[in-house]
Structure 1
């Protein structure tokens, strides 16, 4: 195993957790947190930044206009999604506003988090190209594409076409698996109890690695 990651000012074991939309990575992260891990979720951070009064909203409204602002002052995610998919330049502008703010808040939360080890939940971990050197291990929650579509459609009401466009903008299944140190299978055949057993086994492994990391750092 690599030396404990310290980019966040911490010598605890750091895990990068990722997976495609609808893979169930949030459920996996919440299980790990419930058993004592510290969780920093970049997607939740992004939502907070684009909520009513969020720190990113003034810059987004200035760059993209009032059409991307919902009546409550939050980001109109559907309108922003359409703009970003239609124009690569718009997508780059969106990322240029959001990514530095997400990175800043991620670091702040990591430095304050308390837990046996750190779990960074990063939907675009593979795409960013920056997380390999920031974490000690990468865990991929793996799921077949059809199950992803069905899960997202049930929970969000998005059309199949929209969901597939989102998936096409993410790293492919094989790209994620290629960088994985650990894989949690959560496909259409996985029951909740099976998922919990798989995640529990991984948590116990991480606890062992975290104890080793602490001894090495002493």
Structure 2
């Protein structure tokens, strides 16, 4: 199976591009969705019970689900806790990503991940697509979408690889600085290119 990696900085429109690929019938495996699945109470991974044993039962919501906000507070306040969590979850997420990608049908599949480069997932893909917008557009769109402060979005942007680094690694770039119709046309064109390669 030919795997196309899809990523972009916060507010770049990665999800919009992903949805257009899905509408064209391309299977998409979303790393964010997989990351949520592995900590579900119903997951066979056992990750949730390990997290509760490590951090204490107060890390769970009354319905037994993970309290993501509380966990985020803990791991962002303490780098060793963040490392512990990453060591637990990253192998489980990778394993699930790979098995879901292998189960995909079609000419090619997409691995969508906001931290595809940062989490070293490049070895799992054949080609890399970057959804790109100028940083000021990124900031404006992310603030409007997430209702977060400029400082919050800037700190998220600072934690991601730089726009220049992303573009240097890209095999294909989707320029999302115009509207969704312009993005859709670029995705359709790229879809034809990938079909000819896959």
Give TM-score, length-normalised by structure 1.
Answer: 0.81
- State the Cα RMSD in Å: 1.9
Aligned to 1:38: 27
- Tell me whether 1:140 sits opposite 2:130 in the alignment: yes
Following superposition, the deviation at residue 67 of structure 1 comes to: 3.9
- Tell whether the 8 Å contact from 1:36 to 1:116 is kept in structure 2 after alignment: no
Q: Distance in 1 between matches of 2:137 and 2:38?
A: 29
Following superposition, the deviation at residue 134 of structure 1 comes to: 2.3
Q: Would you identify which runs of 4 or more consecutive aligned residues in structure 1 move more than 6 Å?
A: none
Q: Identify if the C-alpha distance between structure 1 residues 71 and 170 changes in structure 2 by more than 3 Å, giving closer, same or farther.
A: farther
In structure 1, list runs of 5 or more residues that go unmatched.
Answer: 1-11, 211-218
Q: Distance in 2 between matches of 1:162 and 1:75?
A: 23
Q: Identify if the C-alpha distance between structure 1 residues 162 and 28 changes in structure 2 by more than 3 Å, giving closer, same or farther.
A: same
SS of equivalent to 2:117: helix
- Tell me whether 1:161 sits opposite 2:151 in the alignment: yes
Q: Distance in 2 between matches of 1:192 and 1:18?
A: 17
- Tell me whether 1:197 sits opposite 2:180 in the alignment: no
Following superposition, the deviation at residue 183 of structure 1 comes to: 0.6
Following superposition, the deviation at residue 82 of structure 1 comes to: 2.4
- Tell whether the 8 Å contact from 1:53 to 1:74 is kept in structure 2 after alignment: no
Superposed CA offset, 1:121-165 (max 9, x none): 12211112341x322111111122333333333333333332222
Q: Distance in 2 between matches of 1:94 and 1:42?
A: 16
> Aligned pairs, how many?
196
Aligned to 2:75: 84
